[in-house]
């Protein structure tokens, strides 16, 4: 397995990559980096772990939307509701609710160590 060094939000990571999969890995890294930077640049979330969770949720939601579209192309698919989208009251409320839920879920992290 090949080792590939990548950067996400300015931090370096050394990742294992199967032969011939480097371009796909780099595309995935670019998506994750872009999603995390978008959330960070919105300025509402500062903690790297929370940014990573929100970015993961956004990417998973996008993937689920694409899979639903492929599975049923004739069915209309509503546009995704991004967690870190434009500064509207509805998006702010959703982001606030997600942050509260993350705070509750991550509050017990000290028990895991």
Reported as a single tens digit per residue, the pLDDT across 29-81 is 999 999 999 999 998 898 999 999 999 999 999 999 888 888 775 555 566 65
Predicted TM-score (pTM) of this structure: 0.60
Check residues 66 and 100 and name the one with the higher pLDDT.
66
Give, in order, the Cα–Cα distances in Å from 65 to each of 28, 60, 70, 74, 105: 17, 9, 9, 14, 25
50 SS3 class:
helix
Average pLDDT, the chain: 80
Do the Cβ atoms of 17 and 4 come closer than 8 Å?
yes
pLDDT tops 50 at residue 111: no
What are the boundaries of each domain within the chain?
2-111
Q: Looking at residue 6, what is its pLDDT?
A: 96
């Amino acid at each position: 397995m090949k080792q590939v060094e990548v950067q996400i939000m300015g931090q370096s990571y050394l990742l294992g990559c199967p032969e011939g999969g480097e371009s796909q890995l780099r595309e995935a890294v670019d998506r994750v980096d872009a999603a995390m930077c978008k959330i960070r640049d919105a300025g509402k979330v500062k903690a790297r772990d929370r940014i990573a969770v929100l970015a993961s949720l956004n990417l998973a939601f996008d993937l689920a939307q694409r899979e639903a579209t492929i599975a049923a192309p004739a069915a209309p698919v509503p546009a995704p509701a991004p967690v870190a989208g434009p500064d509207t009251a509805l998006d702010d409320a959703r982001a606030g609710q997600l942050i509260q839920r993350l705070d509750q879920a991550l509050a017990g992290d000290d028990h895991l160590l």
